[in-house]
Amino acid sequence: MKIKPNLNNSSLTRKIFGFDESLKKKKIDVIEERPVTLFLNDQEIVTMMTINDYPEYLALGYLLNQNMIGTRTKVESVEYHPDLSTIVVRTNKITDYEEKLKKKTITSGCAQGTVYGNLMENFKKLRFKNNGKIKKSWIYDLSKKINLTPSLYLKAGAIHGCVLCQRNNPIVYMEDVGRHNAIDKIAGYMKANKISSSNKIFYTTGRLTSEMVVKSVQMRIPIVISRSGFTAWGVELARKANLTLIGRAKGKKFFVLSGEKRVE
Amino acid sequence: MKIKPNLNNSSLTRKIFGFDESLKKKKIDVIEERPVTLFLNDQEIVTMMTINDYPEYLALGYLLNQNMIGTRTKVESVEYHPDLSTIVVRTNKITDYEEKLKKKTITSGCAQGTVYGNLMENFKKLRFKNNGKIKKSWIYDLSKKINLTPSLYLKAGAIHGCVLCQRNNPIVYMEDVGRHNAIDKIAGYMKANKISSSNKIFYTTGRLTSEMVVKSVQMRIPIVISRSGFTAWGVELARKANLTLIGRAKGKKFFVLSGEKRVE
């Protein structure tokens, strides 16, 4: 694995005193969660809650997955300022997104609505070809390897994991308080390290909602596996994009609701 | 229970054909998830993903919990337009929030950041007195009653639940694709039906993150129980507000990380 949960990073969890069911005093490990405010050039974008292990990847991946910067946008710098809890992504020129946003916010004030509209417009243009495949044995291998990897989840709970995989091998295993952050950090890692996506598989501990489907399609990863369940709109979008959606993957069980042709 | 999961509402789930691990064709129940765009007067606020069982409560509760309207704001009407997937909340006069937002968006374009800032400013002013109590037996009763209630979660998975309780009785049991929606729907229900909050208890299937703590404090409910875990910032905020935080409540086990004085 290129990146795995970093249990040696003591800033990601905290020991906190509390009381168990006998009201006996006891210490437990609890996940950290911090606000970080993201800027694109001089434009404030959003305040994210994160464990903050990879703020640079998170910032990049967020902008990519929200379609605020394109895969071809030249990023000049990503500056993290821990003292200000701020991260600034600078591009070589003002992005489309900033122009759209400025126009829109004057009339409606709604950055999030604008982003959502643009995202869905872009989504409609993306459809996977029939590339990519997954063997049943890979599904079992991946689940097993990922579940047995020491993680913040096993240490402290209350955290989601997303894993970038190739064949039956987990490559990048990210965790965060929100699964959207974990997936965004992987997107940022992929852009920063120029990783190709079409031969990859995504494993997530979270549910296969429309948000996860849109992000996977945005990242051009054709296969997604989850130990958790589906939402109907997630399935609908996955079918439109010809994305393979494998849910409820536990032990020897799983269920495919889209793109079953890739399963061998 | 005044409101419980409505398993007879066939618009909340959908039967979808897929393939199990033997690649045998099979139908399963999947949760619906729909986008609804919220307006406050003529101001577009956000597009929410929801199962859409109580759009009016969701809209009201969202605005309350984001501190965009106050508990004393007079709401003239809440209009849901199914054909446009739009919900409009009208107040008798322009709210503070809209003024703040207009000023801010022109300089930064960031509605979400503004809201977050206002929310945290307001949070600092709120601190529970030592009112409210909870018996150990209530924790066990509530967990048991809630887990045994037929729910969309048991039917289709991939959904979160939040339950408003009094003593050892669940009163309002809401489910939604995001736990923030489920809690917002309860807030909307409480405002619409003028339910008092200080003698209530909140049960959630989701994690005790900062977001959940801020919402509970905003709603003036002094005790929160979850079967899931904590985040450190959630605990910190709960301690500042003197909120009782009971997590990892499963079987006869639980763990208290804040406001243990209310546990008897």
- Mean pLDDT (whole number) for A184-213: 94
Amino acid in position B97: Y
Residues of chain B contacting residue A66, judged by C-beta atoms under 8 Å apart: none
**Cβ-proximal residues to B13 (8 Å cutoff; 6+ apart), any chain:** A232, B29, B30, B31, B32, B152, B155, B156
Give B49-90 pLDDT, tens digit per residue: 899 999 999 999 999 998 888 878 899 999 999 999 999 999
Give A5-15 pLDDT, tens digit per residue: 999 999 999 99
Distance from CA of B19 to the nearest CA of A (A): 5
Structural domains of chain B sorted by starting position, each given as residue range(s) with its CATH number in brackets: 34-125 (3.10.20.10), 136-262 (3.40.140.10)
Residue B100 is predicted with a pLDDT of: 61
- Which of A44, A45, A116 comes nearest B47 by C-beta? A116
Asked if residue B235 lies in contact with residue B252, where contact means CB atoms within 8 angstroms, the answer is no
Residue A111 is predicted with a pLDDT of: 45
Residue A42 is predicted with a pLDDT of: 86
Distance from CA of B233 to the nearest CA of A (A): 6
**Structure tokens belonging to residue B87:** 């919900």
- Mean pLDDT (whole number) for A221-238: 96
**CB contact (8 A) between residue B253 and residue A21:** yes
**Structure tokens belonging to residue B198:** 């200080």
Continuous H helices in A26-77? 55-65
Residue B104 is predicted with a pLDDT of: 46
Q: For B104, which residue in chain A has the nearest alpha carbon?
A: A109
Q: Is A4 exposed, middle or buried (0-12, 13-18, 19+ CB in 10 A)?
A: middle
Residue B187 is predicted with a pLDDT of: 97
pLDDT exceeding 90 applies to what percent of chain A?
Answer: 74
**Element spanning A111, H or E:** helix A111-125
**CB contact (8 A) between residue A44 and residue B110:** yes
Residue A67 is predicted with a pLDDT of: 85
- Which of B207, B233, B257 comes nearest A18 by C-beta? B257
Distance from CA of A234 to the nearest CA of B (A): 8
- A226 phi, psi to nearest 5 deg: -140, 145
Give B178-212 pLDDT, tens digit per residue: 888 999 999 999 999 999 999 999 999 999 988 89
pLDDT at A105 over 50: no
Residue A180 is predicted with a pLDDT of: 87
Which has more pLDDT, B65 or A111? B65
Residue A98 is predicted with a pLDDT of: 63
**CB contact (8 A) between residue B260 and residue A19:** yes
Best to test chain A binding among B20, B22, B233, B236 (most A CBs inside 10 Å): B233
pLDDT at A178 over 90: no
Residue A84 is predicted with a pLDDT of: 93
- Which of B16, B110, B256 comes nearest A111 by C-beta? B110
Q: For B34, which residue in chain A has the nearest alpha carbon?
A: A233
Residue A246 is predicted with a pLDDT of: 98
Distance from CA of A196 to the nearest CA of B (A): 29
pLDDT at A249 over 60: yes
Which residue carries 């930064």 as its tokens?
A: B108
pLDDT at A94 over 90: no
Mean pLDDT by 10 residues, chain B (264 residues): 95 96 96 91 84 96 89 92 95 72 44 61 89 94 96 93 98 93 96 95 93 92 96 95 97 96 95
pLDDT exceeding 70 applies to what percent of chain A?
Answer: 91
**CB contact (8 A) between residue B44 and residue A136:** no
CA A156 to chain centre: 20
- Which of B18, B37, B112 comes nearest A256 by C-beta? B18
Residue B48 is predicted with a pLDDT of: 84
- Which of A105, A109, A253 comes nearest B21 by C-beta? A253
Q: Is residue A4 very low, low, confident or very high in pLDDT (cuts 50, 70, 90)?
A: very high
User: Contacts from A10-14 at CB under 8 Å and sequence distance 24+?
Assistant: A11/A52, A12/A51, A12/A53, A12/A152, A13/A152, A13/A155, A13/A156, A13/B232, A14/B232
Q: Is residue A17 very low, low, confident or very high in pLDDT (cuts 50, 70, 90)?
A: very high
Which has more pLDDT, A117 or B150? B150
ipTM for the whole complex: 0.85
Count other C-beta atoms under 10 Å from residue B135's C-beta: 13
A194/A200 Cα distance (integer angstroms): 13
Average pLDDT of chain A? 90
**CB contact (8 A) between residue B30 and residue A232:** yes
